[in-house]
A and B are shown apart, each in its own frame.
Chain A
Amino acid sequence: MNPPPATGPSSSKAPSRRELLGLGLTFSLGCRKSAAPRVSFLNASYDPTREFYQEFNAAFARHWRRLHGVDVIVKQSHGGSGKQARAVIDGLPADVVTLALAYDIEAIAERGLVGPGWQRRLPFDSCPYTSTIVFLVRKGNPKRIRDWEDLIRPGVSVITPNPKTSGGARWNYLAAWGHALQKHSGDEGAARSFVSQLYRNVPVLDSGARGSTTTFVQPGIGDVLLSWESEAFQAIAELGADRIEMVAPSSSILTEPPVAVVDRVAERRGTAEVAAAYLEYLYSDEGQRIAARHYYRPRNPQAASEAPVRFPQLQLFRVGELFGDWQKAHQAHFAAGGTFDQIYQRGT
């Protein structure tokens, strides 16, 4: 083997001191040029909203600059909804949280970081956009899955994440429970047995929604994936309609991901005003249109025409209608010893 030349091409890769100096100058000049004051804050969100908030943040920055001449830099942090809430509780300085379910913001509020009554501060219980739970099946729907009842047929394998570790999957669980509850005119026992049968058809309980999608798509396990409608559309757009298709059941849950200003952080950092305006802007025409473009159902029906897809018509029920509120739903179903634990502890 030839020894590499001691000096020459390899050393010329490193920038010379003069080049570095020049670079530094350009940077400092560049900074000085934009004399506008700037403000930055952090939005802690859950996993699948990354692309949506990227576009929305840019739109809000334009809006705020036009209005106040101030540059806004919104930093994003994404992760499982519960994990993000825990990070905020443990000191992540997020000025706003935009999470998958109210239970997680409630946990932050319980520790005094978000003021009580946060859910009444913005329209629609502080949920600017919604979605629902639908089915993803393989191309051609070989198992002929049309509605929830088809999921408990023997031989149908259902993929859904573990509701204990995935906030998103709690919506799936409540959707199945709520459907059965309405079908059997409020009979809790019938709902319980329906959901037990359904989870008996679940061979894998991934820890998060992304993991479940991977399991369904990559090794190709399961006949049907329970998924948020927004993520189902996204998956079809990414993977192609020649591999998977969407089936909307007759009824499902209205998933309402809430948003809130983390008061204690925003007050400390002096961002309370801009953070509140940021969340309000989610309800503006532009905010609603961007949400629709990313497959969320906007609150403003006119913005829905902006969506690249038609949202299927189905009967939607809310958590409040059937389960009281998230605290009660959590206690009954997902806390230790709740209905989910009972499914597996009945010795099968």
Chain B
Amino acid sequence: MRFKRSSILPGFWPSFAFALLYLSLLVLIPLSSVALTTASEGWSLTWRIITAPQVLASLRLSFGASLAAALINSVFGFLVAWVLARYQFPGKRLVDALVDLPFALPTAVAGITLAALYSETGWIGSVLARAGIRVAYTPLGVLVALTFIGLPFVVRSVQPVLEDIEQEAEEAAASLGAGRGQTFRLVLFPLARPALLTGFTLAFARGLGEYGSVVFISGNIPLRTEITPLLIITRLEQYDYAGAAAIALVMLAASLVLLLAINLLQWRTRRVMEAPGL
């Protein structure tokens, strides 16, 4: 097998080289320096740091809440994208603009606002508190913050795809006797699925790295509501660079594995989609 298939477009090598250089400068070199800083400390100490109960608890929370938030956003973000792509209604422009708000808002502002809303004295929090549900300063609060910041990633990934689906596809399905549900399940959803997966991945990755908004609503109680980025800051605050790098490395490795797995899944769904005879 050859390294590249011949293409009618010229300029493969310059653009490939540039892409590689760009990725190295921006991503690979900083990341390898994290690994090197960790290695300077010796692996046994690193292992002790990353298996401390406090770190494990934070990893569970960070990955669990990010995953859950990305799943919630996949369902409801898809719904929002569907509504925006397929229906005309008054105020649609406004709703469309609102979706981007979590992108634009400084994360600390988002965090403080959410904490104020969901604390026991806030508008939403006081209602929920009567039902015995505490949101702010619990793991649930982390989930709320991550859901908030992740929403635009799903909507903005899925929306253009839904908008591009041509009506003919639906008409063809209908004329072949498919019901509405069948059309959605067999025609529309499979077309949007890769984009949905992309949106899910982006929302998930963003949630893992999020710091600014979460620390205001999580309460940062050790072993209960500490997210992993906070523990990294904690280590830095004590001038423990190697310890911070060790925790960062775990996060990096875990994220890399998960992102690779999702990309693999996406690659496979795409291949199935493109397979002849389907």
Contact = CB atoms under 8 A, between A and B. Distances in A.
A336 interface: yes
B30 to A, nearest CB: 14
Contacts of A330: 238
A247 to B, nearest CB: 21
B116 A204 contact: no
Interface string A71-95: 0000000001011011001000000
Interface in B184-209: none
B220 A205 contact: yes
A332 interface: no
A165 B121 contact: no
B121 A207 contact: no
A229 interface: no
B160 interface: no
A335 B238 contact: yes
A119 interface: no
Contact of A336 (B116, B137, B243): B243
Contacts of A334: 238
Interface in B204-222: 215-216, 219-222
A341 B115 contact: no
Interface size class of B (residues with CB under 8 A): 20 to 34
A221 B238 contact: no
B122 interface: yes
Nearest to B231: A164
B54 A221 contact: no
Nearest to A107: B239
B243 A220 contact: no
B106 interface: no
A219 interface: yes
B223 interface: yes
A162 B220 contact: yes
Q: Which of B49, B137, B237 has the most CB of A within 10 A?
A: B237
B261 interface: no
Interface string A136-167: 00000000000000000000000000101111
Contacts of B49: 336
Contact of A207 (B215, B222, B238): B215
Nearest to B53: A345
A219 B122 contact: yes
Contacts of A80: 237
Nearest to A86: B236
Contact of B220 (A83, A204, A220, A336): A204
B53 A219 contact: no
A220 B112 contact: no
A85 B237 CA distance: 9
A236 to B, nearest CB: 21
A219 B116 contact: yes
Contact of B216 (A85, A162, A164, A211): A211
B53 A165 contact: no
B220 A221 contact: no
B137 A207 contact: no
Contact of A219 (B121, B220, B236): B121
A211 B223 CA distance: 20
4 tightest A-B contacts by CB?
A: A219-B119, A344-B222, A204-B219, A82-B237
Interface of A: 80, 82-83, 85-86, 89, 107, 162, 164-167, 203-207, 211, 214-215, 218-221, 330, 334-336, 341, 344-345
Interface of B: 49, 52-54, 112, 115-116, 119-122, 125, 136-137, 215-216, 219-223, 230, 233-234, 236-240, 243
